[in-house]
Amino acid sequence: MKMSPEFTKAQANMQPGKITADGFLGDDSRPIVDIIADDEAEMQTLGVDFDAAVARMRYLMAEGRKGLEEPVTVDGNWIVRVSEARGFLPSPFEDGIFRKVNAQVELAPGGVRSGETILYSELGLHLLEKYHFLQGRGAPFRLEPGQLRKVLQL
């Protein structure tokens, strides 16, 4: 699929050492439009709606922040730990800056840890919501559609 100049610039900004030390693409050499198209197809196959996923992730991050860095049990179904560092990260699409907030969400039915986790940042949520970009395979903050569905219970 053809890349627009905006996406070409974003892909350059996603390389390691540009915005974050390890970048947004991992080992994935595909153009980001192809990463997005493939993930959109997989999300559709799995029946996971992007907006529903983002809404739940925002809710869990907001609840997790109340723990002041300590893990919090949310609705008896997830254990959420939100970590926050000073400063901001710019979006690789150059459309905003985001606080350095990470949420680790573990599925924990009845408060019992399952070992099934997802990890996302405030910037990652923006990329997911606006661009349907789940990051490249092997990237530290890559969100796998199947794992999203399992952990978020969608």
Partner 1 sequence: MELHNLELAYFIAPLAISGISAALAALVSVTDRIVNNYGDAVININDGSKSLDVKGGTNMLLTLAENQIFIPSACGGRGSCGECKVKVKSDVGPHLPTEIPYLTREQIDGNVRLSCQVKIKSDVDIEIPDYLFKIKQYTGTVERIRDVTHDIKEVYLKLEDGQAVDFRAGQYGQIETPPYGKVRERTQRAYSMSSRPSDSNHAEFLIRLVPGGIVTTYVHEHLKEGEKIKIIAPFGEFYVRDTDATMICVAGGSGMAPFKSIFYDFIEKGRMNERDIWYFFGARTRKDLFYLDELQQMQDEYERFHFIAALSEPQPEDNWTGETGLITEVLDRYLKNEISPDKPKEGYLCGSPGMLDACMDVMRSNEMAEDRIYFDKFA
Binding region for partner 1 (CB under 8 A): 16-17, 19-23, 26, 65-73, 81-90, 97, 99-100, 102, 104, 119, 121, 138, 140-141
Closer of 32 and 61 to partner 1 (Cβ): 61
C-beta of 90: minimal distance to partner 1 in Å? 7
The span from the CA of 107 to the CA of 131, in Å, is: 26
Closer of 31 and 90 to partner 1 (Cβ): 90
The span from the CA of 105 to the CA of 103, in Å, is: 6
Closer of 39 and 122 to partner 1 (Cβ): 122
C-beta of 126: minimal distance to partner 1 in Å? 15
C-beta of 57: minimal distance to partner 1 in Å? 14
The span from the CA of 51 to the CA of 86, in Å, is: 28
Closer of 43 and 79 to partner 1 (Cβ): 79
C-beta of 77: minimal distance to partner 1 in Å? 14
**Which three-class secondary structure string do you get for the chain?**
CCCCHHHHHHHHHCCCCCCCCCCCCCCCCCCHHHHHHHHHHHHHHHCCCHHHHHHHHHHHHHHHHCCCCCCEEECCCEEEEEEEEEEEEECCCCCCEEEEEEEEEEECHHHCCCCCEEEEEHHHHHHHHHHCCCCCCCCCCCCCHHHHHHHHCC
Closer of 41 and 66 to partner 1 (Cβ): 66
C-beta of 130: minimal distance to partner 1 in Å? 19
